[in-house]
Amino acid sequence: MAKANPARICPVAAFQKMISGKYKLRIVWDLKDGPRRYGEIRSGLLRGTEGSAEITPRVLSRELKALTQSGLIDRKDFGEVPPKVEYRLTRKGKSFVPVVAAIRDWGDRHLTETATLVDAAE
Amino acid sequence: MAKANPARICPVAAFQKMISGKYKLRIVWDLKDGPRRYGEIRSGLLRGTEGSAEITPRVLSRELKALTQSGLIDRKDFGEVPPKVEYRLTRKGKSFVPVVAAIRDWGDRHLTETATLVDAAE
DNA sequence: CAGCATCCTGCGTGATACTG
DNA sequence: CAGTATCACGCAGGATGCTG
């Protein structure tokens, strides 16, 4: 705890900041099975997104960059000519997967359909 | 692996939607110890928020309303004169606490201080 | 294929003032 | 005390078009 900061930052707040954006969590989840190319990630994100407008490169690019900066994923650029780039989880990213799993798990049980009010009765 | 659903909404997306907003997660966390009044929640949120501008009533009110609609918390209005309102976790909300705990836990280990790039090296 | 450059828009968040 | 009402603004996020 060599953190003599005036106001310790809340881990939850930091988390929210880190995964802010519609796709970050899903990207991490997608990468849990191994490295994926830019296009693969893009296609993968289309499934499961109801109305699903195509995710624009600008947005995806941004998310990937942010995730890279957060240290969750790693960008591997294979030489040149037809561009090929792979993204994969870093150690930190892998350690994060269980958390996403917990989120998915909970979401599966309490969200995704009827939910919202069902067991709020208590 | 009951995964036979057709146009299923992604649980992760649903989760993100549900906890969108800077304070929702922290509110839930705050309420894990028991019911709290509006003002208490408000004060509680100030601690830990670095630059921390006072959270405006408008925002807090909105978050609380959203959480109520999500079925995570419950609003209990004691009669009238001087207004007293308590918020507490519903069953669903309580079931959500462990998830937040996981998030906090992970955040404590990988965020909150230097982080960001430290072990991205791998 | 894997992006970047520009423009545009909605909404989340904050500031400020008022009320039952 | 526990909110609501208005105004204002930055930024996430989508649409299009271009490139090495």
pLDDT tens track for A60-72:
999 999 999 999 9
Residue A7 clears pLDDT 90, i.e. is over it: no
Closest CA to A98 of B93, B21, B101: B101
- Chain A residue closest in CA terms to B19: A16
Q: Which nucleotides of C are covered by protein (CB under 7 A)?
A: 1-6, 12-17, 20
Looking at residue B48, what DSSP letter applies? T
Q: Is the pTM of this model over 0.85?
A: yes
Asked if the Cβ–Cβ distance from B113 to A2 is below 8 Å, we say yes
Interface with B, mutate which of A110, A116, A117, A118 (most B CBs under 10 A):
A110
Residue A44 clears pLDDT 80, i.e. is over it: yes
Asked if the Cβ–Cβ distance from B26 to A12 is below 8 Å, we say yes
Instruction: Report the pLDDT value the prediction gives residue A50, as an integer from 0 to 100.
Output: 61
* pLDDT-based confidence at residue B50 (cuts at 50, 70, 90): low
Torsion angles phi and psi, residue B72, rounded to 5? -90, -35
Alpha-carbon distance A110 to A105, whole Å? 9
- Chain A residue closest in CA terms to B113: A3
Residue A121 clears pLDDT 60, i.e. is over it: no
Residue A39 clears pLDDT 60, i.e. is over it: yes
| Spatial contact of B71 and A116, defined as CB atoms under 8 Å apart | yes
Asked if the Cβ–Cβ distance from A116 to B15 is below 8 Å, we say no
User: Who among A71, A74, A115 is closest to B116 (CB)?
Assistant: A71
Alpha helix positions (H), chain B: 11-18, 24-31, 38-46, 57-70, 91-110
Alpha-carbon distance B7 to B27, whole Å? 32
Looking at residue A120, what DSSP letter applies? G
| Contacts A122 to B, Cβ<8 Å | 74, 90-91
Out of A73-77, A94-98, B12-16, B109-113, pick the least confident: B109-113
Q: Which residue has the higher pLDDT, B117 or B52?
A: B52
Alpha-carbon distance A7 to B72, whole Å? 28
Residue A13 clears pLDDT 60, i.e. is over it: yes
- Protein residue at shortest CA distance from C1' of D6: B58
Helix (H) or strand (E) holding A88: strand A84-89
User: What Å value separates CA A57 and C1' D18?
Assistant: 13
| Spatial contact of A19 and A25, defined as CB atoms under 8 Å apart | yes
| Contacts A7 to B, Cβ<8 Å | 48-50, 52
Mean pLDDT: which of A7-21, A42-56, B82-96 is highest? B82-96
Sheet holding B36-37, edge to edge: B36-37, B84-89, B73-78
User: What Å value separates CA B80 and C1' D13?
Assistant: 43
